[in-house]
Structure 1
Amino acid sequence: MPAVSTIHRQGDLVHPELVCADLAGDCDFYAQLFGWEYTPGVVGPHYIATIGGMDCAGLAHTVTRADKVPTGWGPYLAVDDPDHVCKIIVECGGNVAMAPRNIGEFGRIAFAADPFGAVFDLWRGGPVPGTHVIGEPGTICMAELITPDIEKSKIFYSTIFGLEFAHHSAGDTSGFGTVDTNGLQLVISPRTTESARDRNRWLVYLGVTDVAITIARAVELGGVLVRPESTVHGQRTALLGDPHGATVGIVELAAQT
């Protein structure tokens, strides 16, 4: 499995987490879909998903966010000083859903939203700097921001985290932006519909060995297909809805040779 750096730059994608109302039901769904096992988190009700004994994701009940953050998957992004970054977020037109707080040895976290309402989390790691494994089946491989204004979103996240997004044209659309963080890709994409499923938000993508097989298994377990299998940003992907309404992306990993 790819080694994960214990020293993160500002804006690195360090951990995916699901906020949900049915914690037991979602734990069971993702365990059967990705083979996850679980250990109790520090602030409950909360679980850390593991693969091969290595942390790969978090699942938290909505009460852990005081119902201030919408349900669904989202990314934790690394920061050196959550308190200072929260001030910059507000100055740049975003808002802080939950002020910075300490979570034991895990460090200090905060929950925020950009000017268009997309929610993301901040993490200043302690001895535990983030997820332990990336880029493997059942682990985070990419995060995508769906936004109505790519350029304004690029300016916001560049100001907050110092990220430099590369711009890519995409036919007759406004294109999309990408930046590599922690060996993973952050993508900013245009919102293309007014569907509630396509609201302004961050999407988390988990790796799979075969997109089609994973779709079939998810549906068998009570999930739904939100966006059909297709090639997006050069990668084979799809969007799934879990049985309780959260959307998660899957991306097909290159076969190991």
Structure 2
Amino acid sequence: MVQVENRRRPGTPAWVGLMSHDPAAAQDFYGRLLGWDFEPGPAELSGSVSATLRGLPVAGLGRIPADALPSMWTAYLAVDSADGTADDIRSNGGTVAVGPLQLGRMGRRAVAADPLGAAFGIWEAEEFLGSEAAGEPGTLAWCELLTGDAEVAGAFYRAVFGLEPERVQGERESDRADGGRERADGGREDLVALRAGDRPVAWIRGVGDAAKAVGPRWLTVFRVADADRAADLASEAGGQVRLPPYDTRYGRMAGLEDPDGALFEVVGPLPM
């Protein structure tokens, strides 16, 4: 396992958090699926827990009321200044719903949405840099944005975070965790890499009307040892397989849904 100890470049996913109506059930599900343990979260976030892998934090879980928004994963993008980035979000057509708020000596965070409605967080690290484990099953592989207009989204993330959008050849739209909807015309999605310097740090998938199936959103992709086994475990633990395992250039992937309705993806090695 790689231990991450460096501050991330602006726009790089630093942390992912799940807001759930039933955190206890979420702990049971993700503990079984990803091998996570759990411990109390920061005092400033009452009732939250931190998911850990071999003692290193990998994600956060918090509670939302039963009549609140749907359960979902949120990607927190690293920033140098939460307050300055919040201003940039507003001036480029986005909205800031929460914060920026100070979390003790850990850092400052805010929750926002881009002009197309995809929610995300921003994280100005102080003592807590974000997820501290990478590169093995149970850790975050990458984050990707499902949206109806890759060009508009790319322009927003360039203006706010300095990320450079680069269009690359996409895969079939039906090969994503978008609810399994396939375009009748068999068309292909727009795939855009968001680059920080010389490397991609996140992806945009422009899928047009297919985004309406689940709404514009950031999706989290977790590493697993075996995508087929992960799909079976998700079903056994009360979740659903939204997109059965399939092979991609990145590995074998599956689109899953936890018992509370939060969508995410897993990626494992391709079969030998």
Q: Which amino acid aligns with 1:9?
A: R
- 1:30-179, aligned counterparts within 5 Å? 30-42=30-42, 43-62=45-64, 67=68, 70-170=70-170, 172-179=187-194
Displacement of 1:9 in angstroms is: 1.1
Check the 8 A contact 2:164/2:196 in 1, yes or no. Answer: no
- Aligned residue in 2 for 1:190: 206
Check the 8 A contact 2:145/2:217 in 1, yes or no. Answer: yes
TM norm structure 1 = 0.90
The total of aligned residue pairs comes to 252
In the alignment, structure 1 residue 224 sits paired with structure 2 residue 226: no
Per the alignment, do residues 14 and 58 of structure 1 end up closer, same or farther by CA in structure 2, a change over 3 Å counting? Answer: same
**Uncovered stretches (5+) of structure 1, i.e. residues with no partner:** none
Displacement of 1:133 in angstroms is: 0.5
- 1:7-26, aligned counterparts within 5 Å? 7-26=7-26
d(CA) in 2 for partners of 1:195, 1:162:
25
TM norm structure 2 = 0.86
d(CA) in 2 for partners of 1:81, 1:223:
37
Displacement of 1:136 in angstroms is: 1.5
d(CA) in 2 for partners of 1:149, 1:233:
24
Equivalent residue in structure 1 for 2:217, among 201, 210, 223: 201
Check the 8 A contact 2:138/2:222 in 1, yes or no. Answer: yes
Deviations 1:180-220 (A, max 9, x none): 56987411002255476532100001000110011001101
SS at match of 1:215: helix
RMSD value, Cα: 2.3
- Identity across matched positions, percent: 33
Check the 8 A contact 1:11/1:78 in 2, yes or no. Answer: yes
Check the 8 A contact 2:189/2:207 in 1, yes or no. Answer: no
Check the 8 A contact 2:138/2:223 in 1, yes or no. Answer: yes
d(CA) in 1 for partners of 2:213, 2:20:
16
Check the 8 A contact 2:11/2:201 in 1, yes or no. Answer: no
**Uncovered stretches (5+) of structure 2, i.e. residues with no partner:** 172-186
d(CA) in 2 for partners of 1:244, 1:222:
9
Q: Which amino acid aligns with 2:139?
A: T
